[in-house]
Amino acid sequence: MMAPTTRLFSVEDYYHMTQAGILSPDERVELLDGELISLAAKKPPHVVTTKLASDHIERLLSSLALVRVQDPIHLDQYSEPEPDIAVVMPPVRRYLENHPSVDEIFLIIEVADSTLKFDTQKKAALYAQANITEYWVVDAIARQVYIFQEPVAGAYTKKLVLSESSTVMPLAFPEIEVELIEFFP
C-alpha cells in the first residue's frame, strides 16, 4: 500500500479552479506553497490601518514606485499571495499580462489584527524563501511594525520591532523616511 501524498496546486491550477467555478471570483483565498489558504475576515482595525499605511506609502513613493493594495504578486509556480500592500516597479501597464514577480517587488507589507503569528512566521518564511528583500508586518493592535530584511537561505537575517513613534527608511528607497505613526489611527 502506498503512503498518502499531498497534492500541491500550481498557480495555473489556481486560475483553472476559478475559471471552472470551483472557486468563486469573490472567494477570499490565496495560494501559498501550493495550498489554498482562506484569508481572515477584514475587521475595522485592519481596514483602517491598511488604508492609512497604503496612503502614506503612496504619498512618499508616488513618483518612484507603484503601490498595490490587496492585489496578487507572483512568487513562484506554487505561490501567489495577495499582500495588503506591495510596493512594486512602475508603471501599472507592465502588469497587464502578469502580476509583479520577485524581481519587480521593492517591499511587501502585511497588516495584522488577528494574524500576527501567521504573518510573522509563515508569511515571513514564504517571502524570505522567495528572496523578497524587505517585508514589514504592521501590528494594528500593539501599534508596532515588524521589519524583516536580508533573506539568506530561506530566512530573514535581520529582524526589528519598531514602535509607532519610529521612522524607517525602506532598503530600496534609503532617502525616504517613513513615519510609522502615520500607519495608525
Please write the tens of the pLDDT for every residue from 149-174.
999 999 999 999 999 999 999 999 99
- Give the CATH number of the domain where residue 54 resides: 3.90.1570.10
Q: Is the pLDDT of residue 25 over 80?
A: no
Boundaries of domain holding 115: 41-183
Confirm whether 13 is domain-assigned: no
Q: Is the pLDDT of residue 107 over 80?
A: yes
Confirm whether 165 is domain-assigned: yes
What is the pLDDT at residue 85?
Answer: 98
Confirm whether 11 is domain-assigned: no
Confirm whether 25 is domain-assigned: no
Q: What is the pLDDT of residues 111-163, one digit of tens each?
A: 999 999 999 999 999 999 999 999 999 999 999 999 999 999 999 999 999 99
User: What's the structural domain count of the chain?
Assistant: 1
Confirm whether 101 is domain-assigned: yes
What is the pLDDT at residue 1?
Answer: 66
Number of C-beta neighbours around residue 104 at 10 A = 17
Amino acid at 167: T
Predicted TM-score of the model (pTM): 0.92
**Are the C-beta atoms of 134 and 146 separated by less than 8 Å?**
no
Confirm whether 35 is domain-assigned: no
